């Protein structure tokens, strides 16, 4: 039981962790900020989960094979310790996910929407494979009943009947066969309860979502630097996403974190102030910091393509850009700009007027107002008055609140959107923008769900997709469903009939041999129970030298011949 529990927990954790690969980068940075040591912790956890699954699977397979041969599974003490450790570790990790990253379970649920049709088809294939050993077991249980009855003397039959041995064997036979049949029928009917956005008609498939570069192109250049945004423009994104703070001397600049330790060299330049809030520094100091060396040192994304020597030199010399620099690039390339605006801390000179300062910088840049997706909610009336052309963006609000504020665009976390009335937003003609999507299967889910645009780190990979992954028409899926159901039913029926008939022929042959006096009842049992035959001393088979003439005739009628016995 401990081995089975360890297997189930390890598989569950591996499944959840594999499906949350879209969040690996954020997980690695969280651990880095907590430990101060950069490493691909997400890949380490993934490897550990894979090892635990492989280890428990091999032990479970070994245990199954031993039980098949009727040998007790006696694990070494070290294996018992490891199994207990697997149970404890997986339970702890799943508890941590449930406590601190509850949304990871939402991602696993979304993955089932994409993969459910293929899981259904795969499970039916597995049932076909399982049907062979199961049919042998069911047939052997039938033989076991008959052999036991044949061997019993009268007094033994009375004892066994009192103990209900035959009923137990029959119950085991029925339980095994009936359980298999129920599971198979459930799988046959499973498509009736499956909903997958990527099962739809071709004419109903919406256009490919447009891409917004998340802090530029952070897999090709240091995030929130001009090199990163220029790389994103080269990849032909539709929009640029960033984060804005205001310096103590009122200059809006691009930075995501509340301090400068992760993406600049402030620890080297001014270690005593490394933990200070980002908005507490003057621009004259911020402009001197290096914002690119960390990127070359850490290589923040697993599997990043190697940079050319020219790009390495360029990345190593990046600095923190002003908002005005990004606006100039967006104006020249006609790209949409969307950003999070973080308010200054108490004591900052722009504590209550930071929005007005940012609006002024945007208007001074002369960028077309339609290219600004205005996300900040603070002082929105002033923004509407000063810049009526800005496209105002809401969060995961109700349709009523969006209508009240005259907002037709939302920017939401994809994990929450699919569980919060996606259909209602589409029916209300709301423009839906989601963040942050890096995995092709998630992008395919967004595509099939008619999402308008997505923010991504992985621009190159998503650009290469010409159609959603796992996309199929309802007609094709129904054909695959019915074809596999019928084919599997025929195959499984044939397997059960074949093994049942084979066992019946075997029984008749043994009974004929026994009734002719060629075999003792113990010999029948030895032949029936192969593993016991290897451990018991076999009976001496009769030969033509010690048989009566009438038994010689019976011997010649039986197949195979006595010498083979």
| Boundaries of every domain in the chain | 1-199+474-508, 210-464
Sort strands 252-254 and 239-246 into parallel, antiparallel or unpaired. antiparallel
- Catalogue the long-range contacts made by 84-90 (C-beta closer than 8 Å, 24 or more residues apart): 84/2, 84/6, 86/6, 86/9, 86/10, 86/52, 86/55, 86/56, 87/2, 87/5, 87/6, 87/9, 89/48, 89/52, 90/6, 90/9, 90/10, 90/12, 90/13, 90/52
pLDDT of residue 546: 44
Other Cβ atoms less than 10 A from the Cβ of 90: the count is 25
| Bridge partners of residue 393, in order along the sequence | 409
What is the arithmetic mean of pLDDT over 530-543? 43
Judged by phi (left if over 0) then psi (alpha if -120 to 50, else beta), residue 7 lies in alpha
pLDDT computed for residue 9 by the predictor: 95
Q: Once rounded to an integer, what is the mean pLDDT over residues 49-74? A: 89
Determine the pLDDT at residue 159: 57
How would residue 511 be classed by pLDDT, with cut points 50, 70 and 90?
low
When mean pLDDT is compared across 119-123, 311-315, 556-560, the lowest value belongs to: 556-560
Pick 440 or 545 by higher pLDDT. Answer: 440
State the DSSP string of 235-258: TT-SEEEEEEEE-TTS-EEE--SS
Max avg pLDDT among 99-103, 135-139, 427-431: 427-431
Q: What is the pLDDT of residue 195?
A: 81
pLDDT digits (tens, 9 = 90+) for 118-175: 888 888 888 988 888 888 877 777 666 666 665 555 555 555 555 566 677 677 778 8
Whether residue 560 is preceded by a cis peptide bond, meaning omega within 30 degrees of 0, is: yes
Other C-beta atoms lying within 10 Å of the C-beta of residue 397: 18
Residues 187, 128 contacting (CB under 8 angstroms): no
* Residue of 142 and 187 predicted with greater confidence: 187
Q: What is the pLDDT of residue 538?
A: 43
Whether 337 contacts 330, CB under 8 Å: yes
Q: Is the pLDDT of residue 539 over 50?
A: no
Of the chain, the percentage scoring pLDDT greater than 90 comes to 52
pLDDT at 83: 95
For a pLDDT cut of 70, what percent of the chain falls above it? 85
Task: Determine the pLDDT at residue 262.
Answer: 92
Between CA 315 and CA 305 the distance in angstroms is 14
> Tell me: the pLDDT tens digits for 391-408?
999 998 989 999 999 999
pLDDT at 153: 52
HEC readout, 50-73: HHHHHHHHHHHHHHHHHHHCCCCC
- Helix H or strand E encompassing 339: strand 336-341
**Residue 357: per-residue pLDDT:** 96
Instruction: Give the pLDDT band (50/70/90) at residue 548.
Output: very low
Q: Mind listing the pLDDT tens digit for each residue in 250-281?
A: 999 999 999 999 999 999 999 999 889 999 99
The pair of structure tokens assigned to 539 is: 């009976």
Q: Which residues contact 59 (CB under 8 A, 6 or more apart)?
A: 3, 75, 79, 83
pLDDT of 549 above 70 = no
Strands 336-341 and 391-394: unpaired
Q: What is the structure's pLDDT at 132?
A: 85
pLDDT reported for residue 510: 66
Unique residue bearing structure tokens 């200059």: 251
pLDDT, position 147: 61
pLDDT over 50 at 231, yes or no: yes
Least confident range from 98-102, 443-447, 491-495: namely 98-102
pLDDT score, position 42:
93
Average pLDDT (207-226) is 96
pLDDT band, residue 512 (cuts 50/70/90)? confident
Q: Distance from CA of residue 491 to its chain's centroid?
A: 31
Question: What pLDDT score was predicted for residue 149?
Answer: 60
User: Are 400 and 420 contacting, i.e. CB atoms less than 8 angstroms apart?
Assistant: no
- The answer to whether domain 210-464 has CATH 3.20.20.190 is yes
Predicted confidence at residue 57, as pLDDT, reads 94
pLDDT of residue 303: 85
Determine which of 220-234, 264-278, 398-412, 523-537 has the lowest per-residue pLDDT on average. 523-537
Is the model's pLDDT at 345 over the cut of 50? yes
Instruction: Give the residues across from 242 on adjacent strands.
Output: 339
Mean pLDDT over 334-344 rounds to 95
With 90 as the cut, is the pLDDT of residue 113 above it? no
Q: Which residues contact 110 (CB under 8 A, 6 or more apart)?
A: 19, 414, 415, 418, 442, 445
**Better pLDDT: 193 or 299:** 299
**Residues listed for the chain:** 565
Residue 516: the pLDDT is: 66
**Token couple for 79:** 């294996």
pTM for this prediction: 0.81
């Amino acid at each position: 039981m401990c081995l089975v529990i360890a297997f189930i927990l390890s598989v569950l954790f591996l499944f959840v962790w594999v499906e949350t690969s879209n969040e690996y980068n954020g997980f690695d940075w969280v651990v880095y900020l907590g430990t101060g040591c950069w490493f691909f912790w997400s890949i380490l956890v993934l490897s550990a989960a894979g090892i635990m699954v492989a280890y428990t699977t091999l032990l479970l397979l070994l245990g199954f094979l031993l039980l098949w041969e009727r040998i007790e599974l006696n694990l070494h003490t070290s294996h018992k310790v490891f199994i207990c450790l697997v149970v404890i570790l997986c339970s702890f990790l799943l508890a941590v996910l449930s406590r601190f990253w509850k949304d990871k379970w939402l991602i696993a649920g979304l993955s089932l929407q994409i993969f459910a049709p293929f899981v259904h088809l795969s499970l039916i294939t597995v049932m076909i494979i399982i049907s062979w050993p199961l049919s042998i077991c069911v047939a052997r249980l039938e033989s076991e009943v008959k052999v036991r009855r044949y061997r019993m003397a009268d007094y033994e039959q009375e004892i066994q009947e009192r103990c209900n041995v035959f009923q137990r064997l029959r119950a085991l036979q029925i339980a095994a066969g009936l359980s298999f049949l129920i599971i198979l029928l459930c799988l046959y009917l499973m498509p009736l309860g499956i909903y997958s956005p990527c099962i739809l008609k071709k004419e109903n498939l919406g256009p490919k979502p447009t891409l917004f570069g998340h802090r530029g192109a952070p897999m090709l250049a240091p995030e929130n630097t001009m090199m990163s945004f220029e790389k994103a423009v080269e990849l032909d994104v539709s929009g640029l996403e960033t984060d804005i703070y205001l310096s103590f001397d009122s200059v809006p600049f691009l930075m995501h974190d509340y301090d400068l330790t992760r993406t600049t060299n402030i620890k080297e330049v001014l270690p005593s102030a490394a933990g200070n809030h980002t908005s507490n520094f003057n621009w004259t100091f911020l402009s001197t910091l290096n914002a690119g060396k960390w990127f070359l040192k850490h290589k923040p994304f697993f599997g990043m393509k190697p940079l050319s020597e020219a790009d390495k030199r360029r990345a190593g010399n990046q600095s923190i850009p002003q908002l005005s620099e990004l606006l100039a690039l967006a104006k020249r390339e006609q790209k949409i700009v969307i950003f999070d605006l973080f308010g200054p801390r108490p004591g900052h000179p722009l504590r209550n007027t930071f929005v007005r300062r940012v609006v002024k910088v945007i208007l001074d840049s002369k960028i077309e107002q339609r290219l600004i997706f205005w996300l900040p909610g603070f002082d929105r009336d002033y923004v509407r008055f000063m810049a009526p052309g800005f496209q105002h963006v809401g969060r995961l609000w109700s349709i009523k609140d969006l209508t009240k504020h005259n907002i037709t665009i939302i920017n939401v976390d994809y994990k929450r959107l699919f569980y919060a009335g996606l259909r209602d937003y589409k029916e209300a003609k709301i423009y839906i923008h989601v963040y942050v999507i890096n995995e092709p299967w998630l992008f395919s889910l967004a595509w099939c769900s008619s999402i308008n645009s997505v923010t991504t780190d992985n621009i190159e990979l998503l650009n290469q997709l010409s159609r959603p992954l796992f996309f199929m028409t309802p007609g094709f899926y129904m054909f695959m469903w019915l074809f596999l159901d019928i084919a599997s039913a025929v195959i499984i029926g044939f397997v059960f009939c074949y093994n049942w008939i084979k066992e019946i022929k075997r029984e008749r042959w043994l009974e004929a041999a026994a009734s002719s006096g060629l075999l003792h009842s113990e010999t029948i049992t030895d032949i029936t129970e192969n593993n016991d035959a290897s451990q018991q001393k076999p009976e001496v088979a009769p030969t033509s030298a010690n048989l009566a003439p009438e038994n010689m005739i019976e011997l010649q009628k039986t197949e195979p011949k006595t010498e083979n016995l």
